[in-house]
Amino acid sequence: MSLVNIATRRLLLHAKNALPAFGAGVRNASESTDLREVLARQIPEKQKEVKEFRKECGSKVIGEIQVDMLYGGMRGMKGLVTETSVLDPNEGIRFRGYSLPECQKLLPKAPGGSEPLPEGLFWLLVTGDIPTDAQVKAISQEWNERAAVPYHVVQMLNNFPDSLHPMSQFSAAISAMNSESKFAEAYAQGVNKTTYWEYTYEDSMNLIAKLPTVAAIIYRNLYKDGKVSPISMDMDWSGNFSQMLGYDNDMFTELMRLYLTIHSDHEGGNVSAHTVHLVGSALSDPYLSFAAGMNGLAGPLHGLANQEVLVWLTKLREQVGDNVSDENMREFIWSTLKSGQVVPGYGHAVLRKTDPRYECQREFALKHLPDDPMFKLVSQIYKLVPDILLEQGKAQNPWPNVDAHSGVLLQYYGMTEMNYYTVLFGVSRALGTLASLIWDRAFGLPLERPKSMSTEGLKKLVGR
């Protein structure tokens, strides 16, 4: 049985960061390094803005709903407010208005590193401001201080059978951590609803801080010796995570910083984000809300696709061998489609171009692993799959998404356990979904309850 030593040890790691170079139009409204304080100042202003907007425009019509949308997974139906990010079908994700390349350029980096620190992205998602180096460092420290995982959760994880999928372990552990929920405790004591955001904030910060340790316990229990190294107080969130996973490699840590940044948020309608928002609207605490989102992320059409891609690539290599010709690869892709399966990592419900999250992972690979055989295979697939999907004529978007590339980078650094990949996605997704949940409670959004209809009722409604 592994014991997580939550005592901390100090490592002399980080020299003082240089301040990031801010370009024109970059917002950084506050000097304070206390995120809670910055948020507390913003919330009344935003509440006022929304109140006035709703008073003036609350009854304006913003779209029409067609029958097909009800049967078609509500595609294109505008039905949610999410402040943290917006997805453009052609351009991809913008976090608080900043594109992915802009975030890569503007967000603070670790000393000597070139990838953004996810702590900075979290600050941006919560506040809308690009943080300073000092603000990011304060978040790293706060998360390190909040990282202790309750012993009953460690015990529970240690007792799970190896056959239980890592995502089931992850979600169960997150639910079980609601023993720590400040929100649930405050609600039970009958606190005023205007203060809900404060407890949601505390729970969110605690949960994000604990996730790397939970994820590392799962990894070390399933695939290694069950021992997890302790948190180092002077390390950043990704540095600690890499170390706890057992990867003593600066480039793996850099990959984690990039990975945990780019998987964080994809506006509000995707399954994981929407689920966290929906369950949170019942005032289930942030642990329960986020665990529900993780059960959605574990679906093969959503986050589990990163596992499916590696399973599919492995099958391809087994069946057609290495150095596969374009012709043989085309045949393999067609055989996948003809057997009624999807090509994992391709297509998207909103995107209509190559996902910028795919592109930045490809750039990482071109820089650090240009000769890796799996990377070459993924590049060859990228050349062939879009034309085949277009020829088949079904997929609205034949281009690759984030999941088509992530596993290849992980396997290069030795993380070959593909069943585990979605857990990494989940750790990152906490940043976006919990930033949104804090604002949901700050805005006092109500219980979510859209109207559903029967086919019979719909027919009557359209006069048929």
Among 85, 169, 289, 397, binds ligand CMX (CB under 6 A): 397
CA angle (88 as vertex; 86, 92 as ends), nearest 5: 95
Does residue number 305 form part of the binding site for ligand CMX (CB under 6 A)? yes
Q: Which of 364, 354, 184, 359 is nearest to 282 (CA)?
A: 184
Q: Which of 165, 263, 302, 405 is catalytic?
A: 302
Does residue number 157 form part of the binding site for ligand CMX (CB under 6 A)? no
Task: Find the farthest-apart pair of alpha carbons in the chain and give their distance in angstroms, rounded.
Answer: 73
- Would residue 348 show up in a list of annotated catalytic residues for this protein? yes
Task: Characterize 398-433 residue by residue with b for buried, 16 or more Cβ atoms within 10 angstroms of its Cβ, and e for exposed.
Answer: bbbbbbbbbbbbbbbbebebbebbbbbbbbbbbbbb
- Between residue 256 and residue 275, which ones bind ligand CMX under the rule CB under 6 A? 270
We find the least distance from the C-beta atom of residue 273 to ligand CMX, in angstroms, to be 10
Does residue number 348 form part of the binding site for ligand CMX (CB under 6 A)? yes
Does residue number 346 form part of the binding site for ligand CMX (CB under 6 A)? yes
Amino acid of residue 354: T
Burial of residue 129 (number of CB atoms within 10 Å: 0-12, 13-18, 19+) = middle
Give the CA count within 13 Å in the CB-facing half-sphere of 272.
30
Does residue number 179 form part of the binding site for ligand CMX (CB under 6 A)? no
Does residue number 349 form part of the binding site for ligand CMX (CB under 6 A)? yes
Nearer to ligand CMX, 108 or 303 (CB): 303
Among 108, 120, 166, 344, binds ligand CMX (CB under 6 A): 344
We find the least distance from the C-beta atom of residue 277 to ligand CMX, in angstroms, to be 16
Does residue number 421 form part of the binding site for ligand CMX (CB under 6 A)? no
- For CA atoms 82, 85, 88, 93, give the dihedral sign: negative
Nearer to ligand CMX, 81 or 301 (CB): 301
Which of these ranges, 95-103, 296-304, 366-374, 427-435, lies near ligand CMX under the rule CB under 6 A?
Answer: 296-304
Residue nearest to ligand CMX (CB): 347
Does residue number 428 form part of the binding site for ligand CMX (CB under 6 A)? no
Nearer to ligand CMX, 191 or 350 (CB): 350
Among 106, 124, 343, 360, binds ligand CMX (CB under 6 A): 343
- Would residue 266 show up in a list of annotated catalytic residues for this protein? no
Does residue number 255 form part of the binding site for ligand CMX (CB under 6 A)? no
Amino acid of residue 351: L
Does residue number 216 form part of the binding site for ligand CMX (CB under 6 A)? no
Does residue number 403 form part of the binding site for ligand CMX (CB under 6 A)? yes
Does residue number 406 form part of the binding site for ligand CMX (CB under 6 A)? no
We find the least distance from the C-beta atom of residue 397 to ligand CMX, in angstroms, to be 6
Among 301, 366, 453, 458, binds ligand CMX (CB under 6 A): 301
We find the least distance from the C-beta atom of residue 3 to ligand CMX, in angstroms, to be 34
Nearer to ligand CMX, 309 or 365 (CB): 309
Does residue number 123 form part of the binding site for ligand CMX (CB under 6 A)? no
Q: Which of 348, 355, 405, 440 is catalytic?
A: 348
Number of residues that bind ligand CMX (CB under 6 A): 21
The answer to whether 285 touches 417, Cβ cutoff 8 Å, is: no
What is the Cα–Cα distance from 138 to 311, expressed in whole angstroms? 39
Which of these ranges, 22-30, 116-124, 204-212, 341-349, lies near ligand CMX under the rule CB under 6 A?
Answer: 341-349
Q: Tell me how crowded residue 444 is: count the other CB atoms within 10 A of its CB.
A: 12
Does residue number 132 form part of the binding site for ligand CMX (CB under 6 A)? no
Among 347, 356, 386, 407, binds ligand CMX (CB under 6 A): 347
Among 108, 246, 303, 426, binds ligand CMX (CB under 6 A): 303
The mark string for 367-396 relative to ligand CMX (x by CB under 6 A, - otherwise) is ---------------------------xxx
- Would residue 302 show up in a list of annotated catalytic residues for this protein? yes
What is the Cα–Cα distance from 130 to 26, expressed in whole angstroms? 7
Instruction: Summarize as ranges the residues that interact with ligand CMX (CB under 6 A).
Output: 270, 301-303, 305, 337, 342-349, 394-397, 401-403
**Active-site amino acid positions:** 302, 348, 403
